[in-house]
Amino acid sequence: MGRWRLLRLLGPPWGHPVPKATVLHRRNASSFPLPRQPLPPLAQTMAQYLRSLEPLVSPEELEQTKQLVAEFVAPGGEGERLQARLQRRADRMDNWITDWWVQSAYLENRLPLAVHSNPAVVLPKQDFSDWKGQLRFAAKLIAGVLDFKAKIDHQTLLVEYSRGYPLCMDQYARIFGSCRLPGPKHDSIFLPPPGRRPPTYITVARNFQFFQLEVYNSDGTPLTVDQLHWQLQRIRAQSWKTDKEPLGVLTSDHRHTWGQAYTTLMRDKLNRESARAIQRSLFTVCLDAPVLKVSDARAASRLAAQMLHGGGSHSNSGNRWFDKTLQFIVGEDGSCGVLYEQAVAEGPPIATIIDHVLDYCKDPVPVRAPLIPLPLPKKLYFCFTPEIKRDIEHAKQYLDILITDLDINCFTYLEFGKDLLKRHKLSPDSVLQVALQLAYYRTHGELGATTESASLRRFHRGRTETIRSATSAALAFVKAMADNSCQAPERLSLLKEAVEVHSTLTEQALNGLGIDRHLLGLKLEAIADGLRVPEVFMDTSYAVGSYWKLSTGQVAARTDCVMCYGPLVPDGYAVCYNPLPSHINFAVTAFNCCQETDAEQLARSLQKALDDVGALLGNVGCATNQEEEEEGS
Ligand code: COA
C-alpha cells in the first residue's frame, strides 16, 4: 500500500506534518498511535536501486545488473512473488522489517561489539580534575538519568517531533534494564519481563570490579544526589585494589568466542548470579581510572577512544560490560561519555537522554535525603577458574589488537554551523553529506558506497533506513571541483543540485520509501521461504553498492558532544557528526591495518571540503559568525 493511501486511511493528523508550535507536543509518549511502515512498490525500489549504482559501478556491470533487475521485476517473476509475500507479512505484522533488521544488522552479526558495533558519545569535559569531583559528578549524573527514567515510568515523556512528524517513542521503554546476551549462532536481547517489578538498582564498575547499587529508597523515591555520592564513596572504598582480572573484556570479544566463554562462565552459580545482576541492572556507571595525558591536539581523539573501547586491557576496558544497553563513563579528569549497545535503540534517543541528564547536572533538583541508613552496595563476585582466566587472556589480546588497529580523529569545524546553511535555504545534513563525498573523492579518486542512517520513527516501531549518499549528482559536483576550467557559478549550481538530490533521498527514506530495507526484506523473504536467493542479490553491483566504504550518521544533540563508532568494512571509514548552530563536531574512524585509509587525512580533506563549500556559498562562514557575535554583544 502506498504511503499516501495509508496515511489517508489513518486520517489526520498523520496525513500532514504537524507545525512545530502545535500543542500536540504536550501529548505523552504512551498515548500516541503511529502509522504502520509502508512497503514501497517493487518497481520504484528497483529503479532507485539502479540509479544508486550509477556512480559506483562500471557501465558494463550496470548493464548486466539492469538485465537482472528487468528479469526480477518482470510480470509473474521472482520479484512479484516475493513482493506479494512481503505484502502479506506487512499486513499481518505491526512492522514488516524491524525484527528482521534487528536480527540481521545486530543479533546475527558476529563481530565484536567493541569498536565494530557499539557507538560512544563523547560529552563535553566537566569541571573537575580528581576522584572527588568524579564521584560528585557521577552522583548528579545518576540522579539525572533517574529523573529521565521517571518520565518514562510515569508516562510523562513528551512525544518527539522531526520535520513536523511525531516519532515512535517505543525505544525508550527498552533502554533501561536491558542487555544483549551472547549466543553460539546469534545473540538475543534480555528485556525486563512485562508485569514483573522492574529492577531498582544500577551497576557501578571501578577497577574492573562490579557493584550492585540500589538507587531507590524503600518508599520508592530515587536516592538523592547526596545519598548517591555517599554510596559511590563506599564503592570506591571497596574497590581500591587494582589487581583484579578485567572480566568485562570478555564482552568485547568476537560474539562466537564470547558466546562460548559465556557458557563456561555461567556454569558456576556465583558467576551466574553476578552476570545476571549486571544484565538486569537499569544501567551501568563506569568510574574510570586516570589515563595518560596526551597533547591538546590529540585530546579529543583520545577521549573518544576511552569512551569507545576503554583504552585497552591495561587501561579501562575492564570497566565495561559491552553487552549492556546503556553505560555512562566518568573519568577523574573531567572526561565523561556514554557507550551503548544499539540492538534496542539508536543514537537519537540516547542523545535526548544525554541532553536531559547534562541539563540536570548543571542544576540538580535539591532534595533533602531521608535520615535512613542505606544498605552497603553489593559487590558482585566472580569465580575465576583457569578456563575463565584463559578466556580473559584471549579477550585481552584480541581487544588490544583491535584497539591498536583503530584510528580515531575527532575535530570541530568552526567556520560555520547549521545556521549558515539554513540561511542559504539548504538542508545542513545534505550539505555535510555532499561535502563528505568531496572529501572522500579527493582522498581516493572515486566515490565509495555510502550509508547514512535516516530514522524510520515516523512509523510504529520504526528503526532506520539507509540514505545512499554517493549519487550521480554528487559525482558531477566533485568532478567539477577537480576541474580547473569549471567556474564557481557552475560549481555552485552543481553543489545545489547534489544537495537537492540528497534531500529528496532523505525525504524518501524518512517516509519509509528508501530502498535498502526493502531489498533486505525481499532477500530474507526468499531465504525464509526456502527459495533460492535471486540473482539480483548475487551480482557484483549488489556487493559493491552495499560495501559501505563510508558509514555515516548524524546524531544531533543540543549538548556540544559527538558520537563515534568504527567503520563497517576493513577498508572504510565511519564519520559521525553533530551539527550545532555555529560549529560542527565530527568523529572520523578508520583501521590502521588498511594502507589506503587514514582517518586524519580524511578529516583534513573534510575540513578543506567544508571550506570550499563555504567559499562557494559566498565565503561568508567566518564573517557571519563574527556578525552574529557582534549582534549578540
Ligand atoms: N532551508 C532552510 N532550512 C532547512 C532546509 C532548507 N532547505 N532544510 C532543512 N532545514 C533546517 C531544518 O528545518 C532543521 O531546522 P532546525 O535546526 O530548526 O530543526 C535543520 O535545517 C536541520 O535539518 P537537516 O539538516 O535537513 O536534517 P535533519 O535535522 O532533519 O536530519 C536526518 C536529517 C536524516 C539525519 C534525520 O532526519 C534523522 O533521521 N536522524 C536520525 C539519524 C539516526 O538515526 N542516526 C543514528 C546513527 S547511530
d(CA 418, CA 433): 13
482 CA from centroid of ligand 1 (Å):
28
Counting from 1 in the atom list of ligand 1, the atom nearest the Cα of 554 is 35
Return the best residue to mutate from 429, 453, 558 for the ligand 1 pocket (most ligand atoms within 8 A of CB): 429
8 residue type, one letter: R
d(CA 17, CA 511): 11
pLDDT recorded at residue 575: 98
d(CA 410, CA 305): 10
454 CA from centroid of ligand 1 (Å):
10
What kind of architecture, by CATH, is found in domain 112-406?
Answer: 2-Layer Sandwich (3.30)
428 CA from centroid of ligand 1 (Å):
7
| One fold for 2-12+32-105+408-626 and 112-406 | yes
d(CA 322, CA 320): 6
Torsional sign, CA 247, 573, 513, 54: negative
- Which residues 6+ apart lie within 8 Å of 329 measured at CB? 285, 286, 288, 306, 307, 316, 319, 335, 336, 337, 338, 339
427 CA from centroid of ligand 1 (Å):
7
Counting from 1 in the atom list of ligand 1, the atom nearest the Cα of 119 is 48
Q: Whose C-alpha lies nearest to ligand 1, atom 44? A: 455
556 CA from centroid of ligand 1 (Å):
9
CA-based end-to-end distance of the chain:
55
The helix/strand/coil state of 145 is helix
d(CA 247, CA 383): 10
The helix/strand/coil state of 136 is helix
pLDDT recorded at residue 23: 33
425 CA from centroid of ligand 1 (Å):
12
415 CA from centroid of ligand 1 (Å):
19
pLDDT recorded at residue 599: 98
Q: Whose C-alpha lies nearest to ligand 1, atom 9? A: 427
418 CA from centroid of ligand 1 (Å):
9
119 CA from centroid of ligand 1 (Å):
20
Q: Whose C-alpha lies nearest to ligand 1, atom 48? A: 347
Counting from 1 in the atom list of ligand 1, the atom nearest the Cα of 455 is 39
Query: For residue 270, what is the enclosing H or E element?
Result: helix 269-280
458 CA from centroid of ligand 1 (Å):
14
**Domain coordinates in residue numbering, the chain:** 2-12+32-105+408-626, 112-406
Assess whether the previous peptide bond of 364 is cis (omega < 30° from 0).
no
Return the best residue to mutate from 102, 554, 582 for the ligand 1 pocket (most ligand atoms within 8 A of CB): 554
Counting from 1 in the atom list of ligand 1, the atom nearest the Cα of 576 is 47
Cα-flanking dihedrals φ and ψ of residue 49, to 5°?
Answer: -60, -45
% of residues, the chain, pLDDT over 70? 92
Residues with CB under 6 A from ligand 1: 119, 162-163, 346-348, 418, 422, 425-429, 453-455, 464, 506, 510, 553-556
Counting from 1 in the atom list of ligand 1, the atom nearest the Cα of 163 is 30
Counting from 1 in the atom list of ligand 1, the atom nearest the Cα of 509 is 34
Helix, strand, coil share (%) of the chain residues, nearest 5 = 45, 15, 40
Q: Whose C-alpha lies nearest to ligand 1, atom 8? A: 427
Q: Whose C-alpha lies nearest to ligand 1, atom 29? A: 429
**Below-70 pLDDT ranges, the chain:** 1-32, 242-243, 619-633
Return the best residue to mutate from 422, 423, 508, 568 for the ligand 1 pocket (most ligand atoms within 8 A of CB): 422
**CATH fold of 2-12+32-105+408-626, please?**
Chloramphenicol Acetyltransferase (3.30.559)
Return the best residue to mutate from 308, 427, 450 for the ligand 1 pocket (most ligand atoms within 8 A of CB): 427
Decide: pTM greater than 0.75.
yes
Counting from 1 in the atom list of ligand 1, the atom nearest the Cα of 579 is 25
400 CA from centroid of ligand 1 (Å):
37
24 CA from centroid of ligand 1 (Å):
20
473 CA from centroid of ligand 1 (Å):
20
Cell 542523545 sits on residue: 351
Query: SS in 3 state form for 436-475?
Result: HHHHHHHHHCCCCCEEEEEECCCCCCCCEEEEECCCHHHH
